[in-house]
Amino acid sequence: MTSMSKKEATKRAAELREELAYHNHRYYVLDDPVISDADYDELKNALIAIEDAYPDLVTPDSPTQRVGGAPRDELGTVHHETAMLSLDSVLEEEAFHRLYNNCLKELDRDTVTLVAEPKYDGLSVELVYNKGTLTTASTRGDGQTGEDITPNVKTIHEVPLRLRKTNGSVPDHLVVRGEVYMNKNEFEAFNKQQEGKGAKTFANPRNAAAGSLRQLDPKVTAQRPLHIFCWQIGPTSSAMPNTQWECLECLKKMGMKIDDLPAKLEHAEEAVEWYQKLQKERDDLPYEIDGCVFKVNDLVAHETLGTRTASPRWAIAWKFPPRRKTTRIKTIEAYVGRTGALTPVATLEPVHIGGVEVTHVSLHNQDEIDRKDIRVGDHVLVERAGDVIPHVVKSIPDKRSGDEKKYVLPDTCPSCGGPVVRPKGEAIARCTNVSCPAQIKQRIMHFGSKGALDIDGLGEKLVAQLVDTEKVTELTDVLELTKDDLTELERMADTSADNLLHAIREAKGKVTLARLVYGLGIPHVGKAGARQLAAAFGSLDNLLDATVNDFLALDDMGTIMAEAIHAWCTNDRNRKVVKELQRQGINPTAEKRGDRLAGTTIVVTGTLESMTRDEAREAIQAQGGNPTGNVSGNTDYLVVGANPGSTKQQDADKHGVNTIDEKEFLKLLGR
């Protein structure tokens, strides 16, 4: 590279930067790359070589400068040119209408066009572009002054370091505002990774995004999966568009990342519908939102409406009902699971969170209780995020009266009185008595559960009676129950007994190897793992005789897991259960695999008529296909059932994925 003259190098570097910026935009903003990663790296390496040879040619907007700069001692401050306002928010439809009607009155109009946007649950940031180059990025701070996070924001690939030209030029000065966030799945993975390293974990994606942005060392920020959605044009030297909608379009043209969800609405009724629709889709979105923002579209009307002290009159946040509430812990009790694990569960003073009444919450283990200092009688903050099981975020020590009691898990099993052991270095305490009735009950429940033998009517109360009367002490006993056994039980009517016996017969006849393996309750083996074992070994006998190495040969199988499964398979008691199952005539072999869907990736969304989601997965795998949960460029088909989520459909459109209905899906399966 040094063979280039300075003049040539200057020209070539500028070309390379432009090319790299183009591909960066295609990849990160449009999610539609047109060159391979290797080709991109080649371009980038060429630029690095030039910049190495001529360091004074490095520009702040060079793609090589995304992760630059040494760690700082503290974050500096940035004064916002105009205040970064907050939003007034409402929770109820009535309050929304009131504000909307006030707007109409002020503007002396019958209707007003609104732009509806999600209210992203991230961290608001301001980006300043001078002569098209990103020069400053800051947090909102107190609205007037924020923290300087420029080097950190530069590591976010969705943030252009240079604006793209529109009509041949870039604005001399432009302020853009938006929200930096972390996707929910990336947050989970990031937290796991932190946990593995013994590093700090975060309570939610928002805190993780905020913590990542406020790092002193941008190299740390660069490792974090951060994204941005821009939602506003701030002060600019250019002519402003006339509407918020055009602002979003204009930002998009300049290469900023804009969400696909915003919509232009003509009536308050449409806003209500939009709110309700978004609330339904909320859990399916890859990122957290906590409501909708409705903005008057016409920017001249913004002037007329003006602002309150800290919030504009032309915008309103209509929030979703909170998913966090405080309540009190009435008692804490230890429950024994099927592997003997003792789980402390708190009984709460019931609270409604996001439309569901929460009465119990797992506290997971002793370490968790100690770490969060959760006591019986404490006020606690409980969160129910999406489809996630409710959990205690924290205790509120300020509200203590002094009567609260610390909780320690018992050292004898609350069910059988057997010894409870917590091996060194492990978080879980276990009852070590394999004949513990609580463990047997849980094992039986699992055996009969939907993903396993799917025995209709084998509920918790019935199982408790069967185990307490010692009619059932092993999984296999369930399959030999007689009508007399059942009618002897309290409150068991003749027809219920017949129905259960029928359900057991049916389950015996239709259980697949994968479901049976899942139902056995082998440690670490969930539904997907059971399908994998069934496909790999083909029969119960092969599974029992497999070696640790056989297990290790499977995808995603680590030593701890392989050894635990092997230990289960070689345990005499477990082998006896399996042999007994076989004697009872339950000895399924792996379904003959077809290859109709070999190499085909399929996502199912919504409810199918002819099968459950799990059955659809099994059916796809049985034909050599690959069922996945998210639509990407690798997806071949999206199967759309009743009441599908709109995100998957949108993703499918974006990636040009074939959408098919249930009928076409069944055809693909050869049914």
Binding track over 215-234 against ligand IVH, x by CB under 6 A: ----------------xx--
Asked if 248 interacts with ligand IVH (CB under 6 A), we say no
Strand order through the sheet with 289-296: 89-90, 315-319, 289-296, 114-120, 263-265
Give me the least distance between CB of 179 and ligand IVH, in Å please: 5
Determine the number of helices (DSSP H) and then strands (DSSP E) in the chain: 25, 24
On the 0-12 / 13-18 / 19+ scale of CB atoms within 10 A, 44 is middle
Asked if 119 is an active-site residue, the reply is: yes
Binding track over 275-314 against ligand IVH, x by CB under 6 A: ------------------x------------------x--
Handedness of CA 315, 321, 322, 326 (dihedral sign): positive
136/570 with CB nearer ligand IVH: 136
| Cα gap 664→669, rounded to integer Å | 9
Give me the least distance between CB of 231 and ligand IVH, in Å please: 4
**Cα angle, residue 146 at apex, residues 145 and 151 outer, rounded to 5°:** 140
Stretch that binds ligand IVH, among 83-91, 240-248, 331-339, 565-573 (CB under 6 A): 83-91
| Cα gap 471→480, rounded to integer Å | 10
Stretch that binds ligand IVH, among 112-120, 182-190, 211-219, 369-377 (CB under 6 A): 112-120
Asked if 117 interacts with ligand IVH (CB under 6 A), we say yes
Asked if 446 interacts with ligand IVH (CB under 6 A), we say no
89/135 with CB nearer ligand IVH: 89
| Cα gap 383→387, rounded to integer Å | 11
Strand order through the sheet with 626-628: 626-628, 601-605, 637-640, 658-660
Asked if 139 interacts with ligand IVH (CB under 6 A), we say no
* Cross-strand bridge partners of residue 124: 179
Residues in binding contact with ligand IVH, number by CB under 6 A: 15
* Cross-strand bridge partners of residue 344: 334
Q: How many CB atoms lie within 10 A of CB 665?
A: 23
Stretch that binds ligand IVH, among 79-87, 148-156, 275-283, 338-346 (CB under 6 A): 79-87
86/145 with CB nearer ligand IVH: 86
Give me the least distance between CB of 309 and ligand IVH, in Å please: 12
Cα–Cα distances in angstroms (integers) from residue 204 to residues 211, 221, 379, in the given order: 11, 17, 20
Asked if 336 interacts with ligand IVH (CB under 6 A), we say no
Member of 10, 59, 65, 86 binding ligand IVH (CB under 6 A):
86
Give me the least distance between CB of 386 and ligand IVH, in Å please: 18
Asked if 179 interacts with ligand IVH (CB under 6 A), we say yes
Give me the least distance between CB of 671 and ligand IVH, in Å please: 45
| Cα gap 17→650, rounded to integer Å | 32
One-letter identity of residue 524: H
Roughly how many angstroms between the first and final C-alpha of the chain, as a whole number? Answer: 62
Member of 40, 96, 120, 187 binding ligand IVH (CB under 6 A):
120
Member of 43, 85, 107, 554 binding ligand IVH (CB under 6 A):
85
Marked catalytic residue, from 6, 7, 44, 119 = 119
Stretch that binds ligand IVH, among 68-76, 114-122, 344-352, 645-653 (CB under 6 A): 114-122
Half-sphere exposure of 38 (CA within 13 A, CB side): 0
Stretch that binds ligand IVH, among 85-93, 155-163, 406-414, 537-545 (CB under 6 A): 85-93
184/515 with CB nearer ligand IVH: 184
Asked if 124 interacts with ligand IVH (CB under 6 A), we say yes
Give me the least distance between CB of 311 and ligand IVH, in Å please: 7
| Cα gap 351→357, rounded to integer Å | 6
Cα–Cα distances in angstroms (integers) from residue 506 to residues 149, 290, 453, 585, 633, in the given order: 63, 46, 9, 13, 41
Cα–Cα distances in angstroms (integers) from residue 446 to residues 118, 267, 337, 475, in the given order: 40, 51, 10, 10
Give me the least distance between CB of 291 and ligand IVH, in Å please: 9
Contact 221, 152 (CB under 8 A): yes
| Cα gap 128→137, rounded to integer Å | 6
Asked if 317 interacts with ligand IVH (CB under 6 A), we say yes
Query: Residue numbers of the site for ligand IVH (CB under 6 A)?
Result: 85-87, 117, 119-120, 124, 140, 179, 231-232, 293, 312, 315, 317
Hey, which residues are catalytic here? Answer: 119
